Structure 1
């Protein structure tokens, strides 16, 4: 019986250590696994200690207790630091400096946002967005959520206001090949690639997608010469790992594809695409195809769309020809888009 006590103690310690990573590979755990994860993690830690205590009482070997305690203690200590919110430090408004002059090279890749009045700001991907994953910002009194999933290269800009309440987000983990976020105000779990609340108090809510562009800084400044350029405050602390170390660790995403619920046929897994969703219809526009034909009119459901892609800058503008409204295009790797749009069409030149 004492070996059973030890096995349960060890498994509980391992679960507490890898709690937020387990749903990435064990989809049956579901979104609920993430909810109230701090409390649930403590339950596994306590279980581990209780069963290890039972093992100590029932075993007659001091050496077995000493050797057995090593992995238990390791995983329990590791569980105290292995939390994604401690690895990826989400930035808040007061940690984001907005400059008029550039501090980056012309080739720096940025994610740019412009409001209805032409006020513009851009955020560098490698220096800020990728290592942090989430920026909780405000620009010209407008709340903005800038988010990026390294697992599937999903770049999204959202309006973080739901029912009149401004929400602030942190990284939780990866589920269905895409980052999962949690808002601090209600503890609701959100899917980064769709902006949908999938578990918790705000379940069923949908973040509004803002139009954005992903381009080289020089190309963005040609379009918006008066744009602000965001820079991370020097007072921002690193997480468990430095930003440089994180970016090296994230290279695994170039080869690893986590389990999902959608078959990924249609395009190469890491084909960059612009995804469009409108009135229940979705279509992917592969960048490789857009380079062959960059200006055209297309149909999505019953909507006629005018599409203009600029290969040198990577700018894309999609306009509903009837209303004149700009339709946000979402930047993903193919498998990140396909996972949540299983019936998506694929445009070809």
Structure 2
């Protein structure tokens, strides 16, 4: 009986510590199954699991240390010391928020004096007369940056393993919430709120475990494009600067923008419709559609429709900045063609439009196309979180 209690307690102790991290970090096989509920249960009950397991161990351990063989008296302390080492590394080294830290200081530069490479990809947000740009190779390490824009709190997030940029309001039930990176589910970053300890999915903003399960954060409009293209549209934008404390961490994301980074989890698949192929995703009235990036590079401009929404997908000549607009202009369905020097023309009136969706010449001059929320991400991410997605063919 003593032997059974000892072995059972040790197995439970080690298994609970290891599985608690295994299911929410990118270990082989850990991200393919729907295990987030079990992972959350483990994380929530880990203290009691430890107490029960230790209770199983204490009495037989004392017995074997006093009366066991020489080998047992040596092996048992070694096993317990090994557990202490496992406990330390899992709880103080391998947890997500011990590996990826928030900026110690949020630094911004005015566009006129900014030295950021203008070809850098950014997540741009703008409203109420203020605009900011967040370079992906900076925020990609942090995963989330809490900030304010025009006096409103914003949560700028990015998951490099899914290539998903999202901006949310951090207000939960009217209260400004704080979040920490807790791990990942299906290779997508998860955040834990400080108040209820619920787990939130980065790609959708939905709470997928905990007391707030089923509630979603309000998503705020954002765009992914090069800094140069963003500044062409918002010349007074401020640009987030690298925090000097994390210089080496940022260096690890070098070439992430281009998809040629060395990391196997983040490097682009060049062929179409492969797990890490790039797609542009659009969601409208719960109907999702994906556009192959390779095809977009070839065609540069796509007139399409999603349910009752006529839309335009266009790629700038930098082959990095993309836009998705509604083709419904004042109740009229427009069709567009690619013009010269990053301009587009409509067949309806032969007016000319710039890449920001503004008509710059012709009878429609001054009109602006409605921007539609869209994302560039890995195909494995888009199809996972939009399992019924359509594919543009």
Does the pair score TM above 0.5? yes
Question: Relative to structure 2, which stretch is displaced further, 290-299 or 243-252?
Answer: 243-252
Change (3 A) 1:66 1:197: closer
**Residues 1:204 and 2:214 aligned together:** yes
Aligned residue number for residue 262 of structure 1: none
Could you tell which deviates more after superposition, 278-287 or 245-254?
245-254
Q: Check 1:28–1:8 CA distance in 2 against 1; reply closer, same or farther (3 A cut).
A: farther
Determine whether 1:75 maps to 2:118. no
CA distance in 1, matches of 2:58, 2:267: 42
Return the offset for 1:17.
4.5
Q: CA deviation at 1:250?
A: 8.7
Residues 200 and 207 in structure 2, CA contact (< 8 A), matched pair in contact too: yes
Question: Are the aligned partners of 1:274 and 1:286 in contact in 2 as well (CA < 8 Å)?
Answer: yes
**Cα distance change, pair 227–23 in 1 and its aligned pair in 2 (3 A):** closer
Q: CA deviation at 1:181?
A: 1.5
Contact 1:173 1:180 survives alignment (8 Å): yes
**Residue 290 of structure 1: aligned partner:** 296
The alignment partner of 1:284 has SS state of strand
1:16 matched residue in structure 2? 17
Runs of 4+ in 1 over 4 A off after TM superposition: 244-250
Correspondent of 2:55 among 38, 43, 50: 50
**Aligned partners of 1:325, 1:133: CA distance in 2, in Å?**
29
* Aligned position for 1:346: 391
What CA distance in whole angstroms lies between the structure 2 residues aligned with 1:296 and 1:28? 36
Report the CA distance shift for 1:68/1:197 in structure 2 as closer, same or farther (over 3 A).
closer
TM-score, structure 1 normalization? 0.82
Tell me, yes or no, if the aligned pair for 1:13 and 1:48 is still in contact at 8 Å: no
- How is 1:26-45 mapped onto 2 (pairs within 5 angstroms)? 27-31=33-37, 33-34=39-40, 37=43, 39-45=44-50
Q: Over alpha carbons, which structure has the higher Rg?
A: 2
Please say if residues 97 and 230 of structure 1, whose CA atoms lie closer than 8 Å, have aligned partners that are also in contact: yes
Report the counterpart of residue 180 of structure 2 in structure 1.
170
Identify which of structures 1 and 2 has the higher relative contact order when contacts are C-alpha pairs closer than 8 Å and 6+ apart. Answer: 1
Q: In 1, Cα distance between the equivalents of 2:40 and 2:127?
A: 34
User: Does residue 136 of structure 2 align to residue 131 of structure 1?
Assistant: no
Aligned CA distance change for structure 1 residues 305 and 169 (closer, same or farther; 3 Å): same
Alignment of 1:1-349 (within 5 A): 1-4=1-4, 5-6=6-7, 8-23=9-24, 25=30, 27-31=33-37, 33-34=39-40, 37=43, 39-59=44-64, 60=68, 61-81=72-92, 82-91=94-103, 95-100=105-110, 101-115=113-127, 117=129, 119-126=130-137, 128-234=138-244, 243=249, 251-254=263-266, 267-312=273-318, 314-322=320-328, 325-348=370-393
> Structure 1's 164 and 335: CA in aligned 2 closer, same or farther, altered over 3 A?
same
Root-mean-square deviation (CA), in Å?
A: 3.1
Q: 1:260: which partner in 2? A: none
Secondary structure of 2:145's aligned partner: strand
CA distance in 2, matches of 1:327, 1:218: 20
Aligned residues: 331
The worse-fitting range, judged by mean Cα deviation, of 95-104 and 273-282 is: 95-104
TM-score, normalised relative to structure 2: 0.74
Deviation, structure 1 residue 228: 0.2
Alpha-carbon separation, structure 2, partners of 1:254 and 1:131 = 12
